[in-house]
Amino acid sequence: MDRLSREAGEMFIAGRTRRLTRCPAGRDSGGRMSTPSLADAIAETLFSREQIESKIAELAAAIADDFADKNPLVVGILSGCYPFIADLTRALDMKLEVDFMACSSYGGSTKSSGVVRILKDLNTPIEGRHVLIVEDIIDTGLTLKYLVENLQTRHPASISICTLLDKHEARSENVEVRYRGFVCPNKFVVGYGLDYDGQFRNLPYIGVLKPEVYQS
């Protein structure tokens, strides 16, 4: 390579280096837009990953004692229950079956609309079966009351309720919870399956969402 070509190459590399390092705010050194951490939207952690794991082991032990020889149908209420029901059923060394329902009374809001819709029904008949409903959180109890009444018309042998979080301060309907993980303060919580407008389900812990996130 002659001198002129070498100098031109050095000038090109130097100019490219300057362009790469002079990134505008909000971009990384490769020029890509940076993404805020999900944790930045959390005001406080309520229940850590370790606390959740310990509580699930405790719940599983109680459920196993009650349903060991009953082959229960474990019904997860989508979408928030998915990490809880997965971890709970893995902790149950017993015969069981799993099915899912999806009900909605929220939409994109932080408060119940008061209108319950079944978005996905069971694939499994429950007549004569012992049914264990698994919820991520119970607050007003409106959705769960409607769901239990609906399932009772299908003549199961029994219906029991297990919830990871019980926001009892917000309760407006009378529902009997047999297996309860944590009592939850009347705050807007996300993580470990719980969401706000479809986000934050993948956090490994449960935390309180900053009000500016959902009030903006």
| Domain-wise residue ranges, the chain | 1-35, 36-215
Which residue in this structure is represented by tokens 């929220």?
106
Burial 195-208 (b: 16+ CB within 10 A, else e): bbeeebbebebbbb
Q: Which H, E and C letters describe 25-63, residue by residue?
A: CCECCCCCECCCCHHHHEEEEEECHHHHHHHHHHHHHHH
The dotted CATH code for 36-215 is 3.40.50.2020
pLDDT value at position 145? 94
* Nearest alpha carbon to residue 117 among 78, 89, 154, 80: 78
Using only C-alpha atoms, the chain has a radius of gyration, in whole angstroms, of 25
User: What is the phi-psi region of residue 93: left when phi exceeds 0, alpha when psi lies from -120 to 50, beta otherwise?
Assistant: beta
Sole residue written with tokens 């809880």: 84
Given this model, what pLDDT does residue 96 score? 98
139 is catalytic: yes
Using alpha carbons, select from 138, 143, 144, 133 the residue that is nearest to residue 182. 138
| pLDDT of 110 | 52
Name the residue among 80, 187, 107, 89 with its Cα closest to residue 139: 187
Per-residue confidence of the chain (216 residues) as pLDDT tens digits?
Answer: 444 444 444 443 344 333 333 333 445 445 555 567 999 999 999 999 999 999 999 999 999 999 999 999 999 999 999 999 999 999 999 999 999 999 877 545 555 556 788 999 999 999 999 999 999 999 999 999 999 999 999 999 999 999 999 999 989 999 999 999 999 999 999 999 999 999 999 999 999 999 999 886
pLDDT at 11: 42
Residue 203 is encoded by which pair of tokens?
Answer: 């956090």
Count CB-CB contacts under 10 A for residue 100: 19
Q: Please list the residues that pair with 137 across neighbouring strands.
A: 165
Task: Supply the pTM of this predicted model.
Answer: 0.80
Considering the candidates 99, 139, 166, 197, report the single residue annotated as catalytic: 139
The closest of 80, 84, 79 to 52, measured between CA atoms, is: 84
Predicted pLDDT at 21: 33
pLDDT at residue 16, as a whole number: 39
Where do the DSSP E strands lie in 123-183? 130-138, 158-166, 179-183
